[in-house]
Amino acid sequence: MAKSQARRCPIKKDKTHQWLDDVLLEFNSKDFLKTDPISIVHTYARDEDREFAAFITALFAFGNVKCIVQISKAILDPLGKNPVRAFKTLTSVQLKKTYSHLYYRFYTSADILFFLQRLQDFLNTHSSLGQFFEKNWNQDICKGITALRVFFVGSEAPTRGLRFMFADPYQSSAKRWHMMLRWLVRKDEIDLGLWSFVPKSALILPLDTHLFDISKRLGLTQLKSASRTAALEITEKFKVWSPEDPIKYDFALCRLGILKLKNQRLVIKAS
C-alpha cells in the first residue's frame, strides 16, 4: 500500500486500545517535559508555588509551546524562587511597573494587568486556589471552574481577551481550564497530583483542535468541532479503557501534534 494511502486508513477499533497504550508508554515520560508548558511548573519546589505557576501558565497556554513558555516566564521570573510570597507583597505601583508592558496575542496589556490585580486580590482573600476549588466544586469540576471564573471576571468578562482567558466551561471545551486540572489532579512523572480531593475519573479531556483531529482519526467522535460536547464524548470513550483515569492519554497524544508525528503514528500496520 502506498504511504499516502496507508495514512488515510482508519485505525481498527479492536486495535485502538493497544495503540493508545503504546503511545502512552512511549511519550508519557519526563523525557518529554521540555516539549510542554508544564515544564515551567516543575521548576518550583513548593506546592503553593507549583499551583500558582500552573494556574498562570495554563491560562496562557494557547499558541506554540515556545511562545507560551516565554509569556509565562515573563510573569513568573520576576518573582524569583518563591513567586507566591513575592507576588502577594507587590504594591500596585510595583505590579504596574513590572507587568504593564506585557501582551500576548489577543490578551492586551490591560487584560493581563487586570488578571494579575485580581489574582493578588484572590491570594489576599483565600488561602489557596486548591482550598477555594475544594470548597466550591461540589463534585462537579465545571462548578469549581465557574466559581473561579466568577471571582475573576464575574458572570460576563469585560473584554474579548478576558472572555477567552476565563472560558465558560458550560459553553466551550474550556481546554486550558481542563489542562490545568489535569496538571493539578493527576499524579505521575508529568502531572503534579496536588489536588487529591478531586478523583481522576471526574476530569474532562482538555480538547483543542489538534487533539480533536487525532480523536476523529481514531474514530472516537464524529462531531465537527472541538466543542464541550466532543470533549465529553471522547472522555467517555477513554473511560471504556481507563475508567479511573480516562485522560491519562492526553499528554502522550499531544506529543504527536507537537512533535509533528501525527501522520506517521496514526497508522496501525496490518499484522
Q: Cα(256)–Cα(266) distance, rounded to whole angstroms?
A: 9
Q: Which residues of 237-267 are buried (b: 16+ CB within 10 A; e: fewer)?
A: bbeeebeebbbbbbbbbbbbeeeeebeebbb
Q: What is the pLDDT of residue 268?
A: 54
Tell me the backbone φ, ψ of residue 175, rounded to 5 degrees. -55, -45
Q: Which residues of 186-213 are buried (b: 16+ CB within 10 A; e: fewer)?
A: beeebbbebbeebebeebbbbbbeebbe
Q: Would you kindly state where each structural domain of the chain is located, as residue ranges? A: 10-265
pLDDT in 10s for each residue of the chain, 271 residues? 444 444 444 444 468 899 999 999 999 999 999 999 999 999 999 999 999 999 999 999 999 999 999 999 999 999 999 999 999 999 999 999 999 999 999 999 999 999 999 999 999 999 899 999 999 999 999 999 999 999 999 978 789 999 999 999 999 999 999 999 999 999 999 999 999 999 999 999 999 999 999 999 999 999 999 999 999 999 999 999 999 999 999 999 999 999 999 888 887 533 3
* Distances 116 to 7, 92, 156, 206, 214 between C-alpha atoms, Å: 45, 10, 18, 24, 35
Q: What is the pLDDT of residue 265?
A: 86
SS3 call for 187: strand
For the purposes of burial, counting CB atoms within 10 Å of the CB of 233, is it exposed (0-12), middle (13-18) or buried (19 or more)?
middle
Q: How many whole angstroms from its chain centre is CA 248?
A: 13
Its pTM stands at: 0.91
Q: Cα(80)–Cα(178) distance, rounded to whole angstroms?
A: 27
CB 58 within 8 A of CB 176: yes
**Which cell numbers hold the place of 85?**
510570597
